[in-house]
Copies of this chain bind each other. A is one copy, B any other.
Amino acid sequence: MTDSTLGVKALLFDVFGTVVDWRSSVINEGRELGRRLGITVDWDSFADAWRGAYQPSMDPIRTGARAWANLDTLHRESLVKVLCDFSIELRDECAIDALNGVWHRLEPWPDSIAGLQRLKQRYTLGTLSNGNIAMLVNMAKRVGLPWDVVLGAEVFCTYKPAPQVYLGTCRYLGLAPQEVMLVAAHNNDLFHAKSHGMRTAFVKRQEEYGPTQTDNLEAEYDFDYVADDFLDLAERLGC
């Protein structure tokens, strides 16, 4: 199956875990911080605990029980709790803000930039992320993720998998859902995209959650493409 068969014009990417390796990035900044502070912390567990608060923190906003708050805000609230749980005392509020900013400084997977550059030759590339715009723009600018457009949950004031995040992004691009393909490493995200008529590409990121990852090792639905990484996806799309 070639992309000309599908008629895809834009590729939208989930970001955390799909484009960037959030876990190693958080662990590495944590270790550096630990060295500076002279403290010993299990930063792998710290990263997992912080990320563990991610989905639950969005739920009250998804249900409408809480007014919109962007991901920087939710991350910071979770961080304060996780710092407490790990008995880490930072100097002041600014130091907490600085650590919270790690989500603006996530490192891409080794294939991400080269793959995106190839895909960009043929497709409009954008984000379809729960990250806020500033986070996504700063992250891209720092390492050179070549987005044509940065969109996501923030402009719709709710989080994936709310339908309007998928459908609204397609509408902003002036495209029908079937002209847009979501690229993600997560079955659930792709399942929702597919349910709205979008095309789907599953990319394997089998160590997103570390070496003992058990979920999202393989595609669990009938997605349009399944790829080992972004270079493999570019190859399959004829880029």
Within 8 A of B (CB), among A166-184: 172-175
Q: Which of A29-37, A75-83, A106-114, A149-157 contacts B (4 or more CB under 8 A)?
A: A149-157
Stretch in contact with the other chain, from A48-56, A129-137, A188-196, A217-225: A129-137
Give the interface centre of A72, A132, A148, A175 by most chain B CB atoms within 10 Å: A148
**A137/B72 in contact, CB under 8 A:** no
Query: A117 interface residue, CB < 8 Å from B?
Result: no
Tell me, yes or no, whether A231 is within 8 Å of chain B by CB. Answer: no
Q: Which of chain B's residues have a CB closer than 8 A to the CB of A148?
A: 137, 140-141, 147, 150
Is A164 positioned at the interface, with any CB of B under 8 Å from its CB?
A: no
Interface status of A124 (Cβ within 8 A of chain B):
yes
Contact: B149 with A137, CB < 8 Å?
A: yes
- Is A133 a contact of B154 with CB atoms below 8 Å? no
For chain A, the bracket of interface size reads 20 to 34
- Interchain CA distance A72-B171 in the complex, whole Å: 12
Structural contact, A134 and B174, CB atoms closer than 8 A: yes
Closest to A104 in B: B174
Contact with B along A138-150 (1 / 0, CB 8 A): 1011000001111
Q: Which of B141, B154, B173 touches A137 (beta carbons < 8 Å)? A: B173
Interface on A for B, CB 8 Å cutoff? 72, 124, 126, 132-135, 137-138, 140-141, 147-151, 154-155, 172-175
* Shortest beta-carbon contacts, A-B, top 3: A134-B174, A133-B172, A149-B150
20 A-B residue contacts at CB 8 Å?
A72-B174, A124-B137, A126-B137, A132-B172, A133-B149, A133-B151, A133-B173, A133-B174, A134-B172, A134-B173, A134-B174, A135-B174, A137-B148, A137-B173, A140-B148, A141-B148, A147-B148, A150-B150, A154-B172, A155-B155
